[in-house]
Structure 1
């Protein structure tokens, strides 16, 4: 029987084994942490935003944050929401688009590009500040990247040719956010001819004005947004208020939507 008493300062066999196990686990955790902090081997991460044509939004600020590496990466190019959400534009990609759903495509999304040199290190969180123009509500969306999502983004895949053989290498590095007028958001990951549904998010915060300090009253003083939205509905002969929630948020995509749990 193994002696479990420490004699003369000598460690017990069972304690030695426990110590080795703890060292092994610590090394494994450190290895996982280092891998998470490695830059992406493929393209830099990107963020695109889509919205229903009848419920467009205005984005006033967006950025990624990495707390461990102590950086914040602003995203620009997200101001074209009214143009990209036009029905005639979306229907060049999805001819049967009804104006209520999410048209998920690189051609219909408003893409946020990183300022300066593209950072291939992933953020821990992505923040988007935006205005729902149909009801003048101001939201902040926050998405936290899980270790599994980071692993998917770093994994090298290949496009599949029509004959079933491997094509060029590719990575899944494009986030798509779909914004709804109640402040909720849905998030997908796109790349390698895949569209993976990640999460539905409640707003992290609702504010009384946008990130530029503009209030709902100021928005209403300029009728551009209301006139544009109402004209879209009038041209299609549909009612957009009250919001038909059974229609809002349907996904239009050239790729089948997959689940994160299936990866």
Structure 2
């Protein structure tokens, strides 16, 4: 009898442990299911950067961060700001471009893609470390994605063909930044033939050197210092770029009509 009692007690204890384990597993599955059921874009998100031709920038680091999922993803292909911002590249898309405004088009901007295979899980924040080359100032831009912006990115739409019929599926997953020489940034969400204005940001931080450790004095050294090369663009165009005419710099050039976030 004693042996049977011990065996029965042990069996009861094991059953209790299995019950606790089963409840834990069910809870985890429910949490995972809720997470998977959250709206996610059907394609990886990207970041684009545009700048005035007369006020180009250099991106030294950019990445997205998701706090809840505990990841940071670096972005690449954002280093050729001087080249992409040349007037000859922009006027091909915008014939009336004056060199001061922000040209928003894939051919006049840098497109940062996620390093690796990429994820369609949206970041909570985007960080961009950059240098305004005409005045050699170093800025950090931070943009926090709201729930509404994440929902817009996850919404499946369809392209509209020229005849008005419905085309293939698309997503608005391109976060588009326009960077200005005082450190301010304008942010749009682009995709599916839409350009949605999200915010104007002050710099999150101004630094004394770029992310590579290069100081302003180093940018100004050499036979053709970077600020001198940048100012030459205005000289060649026959216009004055210093002091900065702020009433011209904020203008946006886009083939897509600019919509407001409040209208979505």
Shift of 1:38: 4.3
Greater fraction helix? 2
Contact 1:157 1:171 (8 Å CA) reproduced: yes
What root-mean-square deviation, in Å, do the aligned CA atoms of Structure 1 and Structure 2 show?
Answer: 1.8
**Structure-1 separation of matches of 2:184 and 2:36:** 28
Q: Which residue of 1 aligns with 2:60?
A: 60
Relative to structure 1, is the Cα distance of residues 183 and 34 closer, same or farther in structure 2, using a 3 angstrom cutoff?
A: farther
Q: How many residues were matched structurally?
A: 233
In structure 2, the CA distance between the partners of 1:146 and 1:231, relative to structure 1 (3 Å rule), is: same
Distance in 2 (alpha carbons) for counterparts of 1:67 and 1:203: 21
The 3-state SS of whatever aligns with 1:206 is: strand
Question: What residue in structure 2 maps to residue 262 of structure 1?
Answer: 263
Instruction: Specify the alignment match of 2:116 in structure 1.
Output: 116
| Aligned partners of 2:135 and 2:227 also within 8 Å | no
Query: Which piece of structure 1 moves more, 193-202 or 224-233?
Result: 224-233
| Alignment partner, residue 166 of structure 1 | 166
Taking the aligned partners of 1:65 and 1:34, their CA distance within structure 2 comes to 21
Q: Describe how 1:7-156 pairs up with structure 2 within 5 A.
A: 34=34, 38=38, 40-156=40-156
Compared with structure 1, are the counterparts of its residues 178 and 41 closer, same or farther at alpha carbon in structure 2 (3 Å cutoff)? closer
How far apart are residue 231 of structure 1 and its match?
Answer: 2.0
Conserved in 2, the CA contact under 8 Å of 1:36 and 1:147?
no
Shift of 1:35: 6.0
User: Is this contact kept in 1: 2:219–2:227, CA < 8 A?
Assistant: no
What TM-score results when the alignment is normalised by the length of structure 2?
A: 0.84
Once the two structures are TM-superposed, the CA of residue 39 in structure 1 deviates from its matched residue by 6.9
Q: More deviation in 54-63 or 34-43? A: 34-43
Whole-angstrom CA distance in 2 between matches of 1:160 and 1:171: 13
Distance 2:260 2:96 in 1: 24
Normalised by the length of structure 1, the TM-score is 0.85
2:243 aligns with 242
Give distance in 2, aligned partners of 1:238 and 1:41: 44
Deviation at 1:34, TM superposition (A): 4.3
SS at match of 1:221: coil
Name the larger-Rg structure.
Answer: 2
Residues 125-184 of structure 1: CA distance to partner in whole angstroms, max 9, x if unpaired? 000000111111110000000000000000011111223221111110001100011100
Q: Aligned with 1:107: secondary structure?
A: helix
Q: CA deviation at 1:42?
A: 2.0
Structure 2: gaps (5+ residues): 1-29
- Asked whether the equivalents of residues 49 and 178 of structure 1 are also in contact (C-alpha less than 8 Å), the reply is yes
Unaligned runs of 5+ in 1: 1-29
* CA drift at 1:201: 0.4
